[in-house]
Chains A and B, each alone.
Chain A
């Protein structure tokens, strides 16, 4: 398998506070990788560093052999990396369709863009219905779908999704993951997903990376990792996060 993303020994710090420390990570073409861990483990900072939104103090990041470190976020997006951020960050004053089109400025294949708009609206009927309505009026689940659709419109090779289940009902989370998995297969995407609930990651399936204190503390098949974590929690009484409870229902 070909390496899609290579993270080599990166550190991220906010002032003096380290968020990510000497972290290395390889993601292969077409792989689905979950990043899990407690709040403050550095998951979002890792995604921020890869996307260029957060500066690294040390180390380098490569995608398809291109160096991402030091590039502007828009330049990284133009290399084929797309982001579904935590909290979705929908453009509320723009219409649903306009949200989809924001990320198409880099694309020269005009006809394919039109086809993609149609395809995404077909895939999410609720978005098609609200096509010309302000996106801010959508529900949380609908906004999550829109954020995914919007990220796909850049025609990415690697898509990063930060906490897609945040604030959504378990049933909606199921839908979000079904959609993500279907899209991944269809478009041979590489996915990097931050998911606090290891049980949820185990259910969806893929490789899982466990972060704590800015470092990777465990790595393996998501299903095995979730078992191991459950075992550890049973022995050491580690508090379970809310999303674990939700997913366990």
Chain B
């Protein structure tokens, strides 16, 4: 019998990571009906921004050398910047295009970013040690929990609370919520499309950076493929949560994290390698029962 407290911390920290990644996707979908498949590559980009560009097997810290107080805002800024730049270079020109065209463009953009990383850093995963002291275990509620797990859980809560506050209490938040519901009407009231969309991309990119920092600390590996895996889970979370619903994305992120941890613990040993098959079966069941998502947004979301 696995320790219950241990399970809880595993589930909450994995779920928190998924929730943050899902939020990044849901934010952009909410304002412009774009499923941004390049989001995973923003994460990978932020990971590699930590190390010196080279194709050597050993990673040499670059930005990663900076103290946390400087490093964290810097990486969040880099995430925001690449997201905003990609909007400026690609998506801005497709705003009147079909959502499918935008989605395909996001795939293409993702491949471009990934291949640039491959060209500059090489394809082999690199060992990278960011804040290794955070992986020391702490005794809590009878469980031995890596400090990082607690930090991930706290970070998720802080990020979600800060985002909720931003959306509820600030001018940009009000405009983003209005635009998410009816972009044309918001513009007719003087809400600037560029401000809202740039804001959404910046927030989304910063979320990708937060995910990158957590993943790299947890795994100790910089791998170009890192983005693809989490992007898939995050995308599924936004669909299960109800496309465009931010609370839905958070809840579904936590749900998927919790279910994977539970499956990992509860499945018979022989079945564990196939955990994801069970997980995605549950996803299918979930969608069959509620194709509109577990948390449906208050209204349909027309685009600009």
Contacts and interface: CB of A to CB of B under 8 A. Distances in A.
B298 A93 contact: yes
Interface stretch (B135-143, B172-180, B265-273): B172-180
B191 interface: yes
Given A74-B192, A136-B299, A89 B187 contact: no
Contact of B190 (A53, A77, A92, A136): A77
A106 B298 CA distance: 27
A93 B190 contact: no
Given A102-B174, A105-B171, A77 B181 contact: no
Chain B: number of interface residues, binned into ranges: 20 to 34
Given A93-B298, A93-B299, A136-B298, A105 B175 contact: yes
Given A53-B184, A73-B184, A105-B171, A94 B177 contact: yes
B193 A91 contact: no
Contact of B178 (A53, A82, A85, A91): A91
Contacts of B188: 51, 53, 73-74, 77, 82-83, 85
Contact of B185 (A72, A89, A105): A89
A150 interface: yes
Given A92-B298, A93-B299, A136-B298, A82 B184 contact: no
B297 interface: yes
Contacts of A51: 188
Contacts of B182: 89, 91
A60 interface: no
Nearest to B180: A93
A78 interface: yes
A102 B193 contact: no
B190 A106 contact: yes
A72 B193 contact: yes
Nearest to B297: A93
Interface string A24-55: 00000000000000000000000000010100
Contacts of A205: none
Interface string B264-304: 00000000000000000000000000000000011100000
A77 B189 contact: yes
A190 interface: no
Interface in A56-100: 72-74, 77-78, 82-83, 85, 89, 91-94, 98
22 contacts: A51-B188, A53-B184, A73-B184, A74-B191, A83-B188, A89-B182, A89-B185, A91-B177, A91-B186, A92-B181, A93-B177, A93-B181, A93-B297, A93-B299, A98-B177, A102-B174, A102-B186, A102-B191, A103-B191, A106-B190, A134-B298, A154-B189
Q: Which 6 A-B pairs have the closest CB atoms?
A: A103-B189, A93-B298, A77-B190, A73-B187, A89-B185, A106-B190
A13 interface: no
A129 B64 CA distance: 54
A134 B190 CA distance: 22
Contacts of A102: 174-175, 178, 186, 189, 191
A92 B191 CA distance: 17
A77 B188 CA distance: 6
A3 B253 CA distance: 57
Contacts of A89: 182, 184-185
Contacts of A78: 190
A167 to B, nearest CB: 17
A102 B171 CA distance: 8
B187 to A, nearest CB: 4
A212 interface: no
Contacts of B190: 74, 77-78, 103, 105-106, 154
